[in-house]
Amino acid sequence: MSTVVIVGTQWGDEGKGKIVDYLAEKAESVVRYQGGSNAGHTVMSGGKEYKLRLMPSGILYKGTHNIIANGVAFNPKVFLSELEGLKKAGVDVGNIMISDRAHVVMPYHAMMDECMELHKGKNKIGTTHNGIGPCYMDRDIRTGIRVCDLMEEDVFKKKLKTVLDTKNNVMKLLYKTDGLNYEDVLETYLGYAERIRPYVCDTITLLNDEINAGRRILFEGAQATMLDIDYGTYPYVTASHPVSGGVTVGAGVAPKKIDKVVGVVKAYCTRVGEGPFPTEDLGKDGNKLRETGHEYGTVTGRPRRTGWLDACVVKYAGILSGIDYMAITRLDILDDFDEIKLCVGYEYKGKKYEGIPASLSVLAEIKPVYETFKGWKTSISKIRKYEDLPEEAKAYLKRIEEVTNIKLGIVSVGPDREETIIIANDIF
């Protein structure tokens, strides 16, 4: 048995796609277990850049099984356009499986997402407008449409009629939009149904058979711990469970079948969308991080908010997901800084504060306690061995390990597969 979960430890965009792609070389299956097309995972292979939203990041390896499990909010339109894009780029997209239990993102979900955000005004969450929250909301109030429903024309017709009547009432009366036409949605989705049918299956049985047969499986988290619906900075979060526990309900895999967890940690910190961000830097360092790191959203193109690495957040992620190893990414973005700061604790009303506050008003007032590290002022992208990293970089990494109490497993020094330093050889 060999199953590894990859989770984001901050507010997303840590470089999960790169790490999944790197580890996928040894994996036989890669599984998305939550989130949907709100994710944007970048993978660089052979000098080409691929931006994946729904497709598991193992897709670039021939023969790997790429599984979209039941916990994913599945948007067939995005899936099909991604599939076409990959085919055009010459990628062999043979082994894709979509769970028959996944919930389908419908056009009214994206419309509701946008309307609800507009309605919230200055209190908006800053969602990606992909309809992810409204899709999970329908699942939870039991008015969702699943992939298996879409596979049965009569069932789909009836369900769509009932749900769309209600949604149209809300969209017309409350949000003053024109609503959607039943026949149009029906025709479009029946078209999608035929195109996705070859990929739809019972992924739970398939995946558990694979696990029991000892195949190597990677579970690819989307979003991150601080965006988790329960553990993040609620309500400024996404609507699913990116933490490793999300795998058990999102893919139908029992907790005792998870072997290892790798937490992806960006060497500094970013957030896109609204909500608390204790180490946010609105000054020149924050700007320099954004510009050097080209920190603009993969899905929405929005400038990402930037700041120094918050080890308290990573420690929290480690506890919640049982992280065995950290994969620290984008260390090269810090190459040109004279000084690098690391948040090693919080203070609240003049006293030390342990843990991550649930209350937004406490979060707004906590003060990060920083330690300052000397920068290495040299390019590290060509380094492939930990020993060869500058002493200053090693000191920074060591302190992150100490404060978070998590071992360093991988250091990424560039977006390419090759630009990776492996420290832990037992991840798979």
Positions annotated as catalytic residues are 13, 41
From residue 367, give the alpha-carbon distance in Å to each of 79, 99, 164, 244, 316: 42, 44, 47, 28, 17
The listed partner (ligand GDP, ligand IMO, Mg ion, none) that binds 273, CB under 5 to 8 Å by sort, is ligand IMO
Q: Is 179 exposed, middle or buried (0-12, 13-18, 19+ CB in 10 A)?
A: middle
- Pick one of 7, 12, 145, 331: the residue that binds ligand IMO (CB under 6 A): 12
CA 259 remoteness from chain centre: 20
What is the smallest separation between the CB atom of 6 and ligand GDP, expressed in angstroms? 9
β partners of residue 280: 307
From residue 272, give the alpha-carbon distance in Å to each of 10, 128, 223, 304: 11, 9, 11, 5
List binders of ligand IMO among 291-330 (CB under 6 A): 298
Residue type, 44: M
List binders of ligand GDP among 287-316 (CB under 6 A): 298
Q: Diameter of the chain by CA atoms?
A: 66
Residues 225 and 311: their CA atoms lie apart, in Å, by: 13
- Mapped onto helix, strand or coil, the DSSP state of residue 353 is strand
Which CB sits closer to Mg ion, 36 or 357? 36
- Pick one of 9, 13, 271, 396: the residue that binds ligand GDP (CB under 6 A): 13
200 counts as binding ligand GDP under rule CB under 6 A: no
- Pick one of 5, 7, 13, 289: the residue that binds Mg ion (CB under 5 A): 13
The pattern of x and - marking residues 25 through 54 that bind ligand GDP according to CB under 6 A reads: ---------------xxx-x----------
- Pick one of 273, 276, 318, 409: the residue that binds ligand IMO (CB under 6 A): 273
What is the smallest separation between the CB atom of 153 and ligand IMO, expressed in angstroms? 30
Q: What are 392's two structure tokens? A: 């200053």
Instruction: Give the other-Cβ count within 10 Å of 122's Cβ.
Output: 5
263 counts as binding ligand IMO under rule CB under 6 A: no
What is the smallest separation between the CB atom of 140 and ligand IMO, expressed in angstroms? 14
Residues 163 and 244: their CA atoms lie apart, in Å, by: 32
Residue type, 380: I
The residues that touch ligand GDP, with contacts defined as CB under 6 A, are 8, 12-18, 40-42, 44, 298, 329-330, 332-333, 412-415
Residues near ligand IMO (CB under 6 A): 8, 12-13, 38-41, 125-128, 130, 132-133, 222-224, 227, 238-239, 272-273, 298
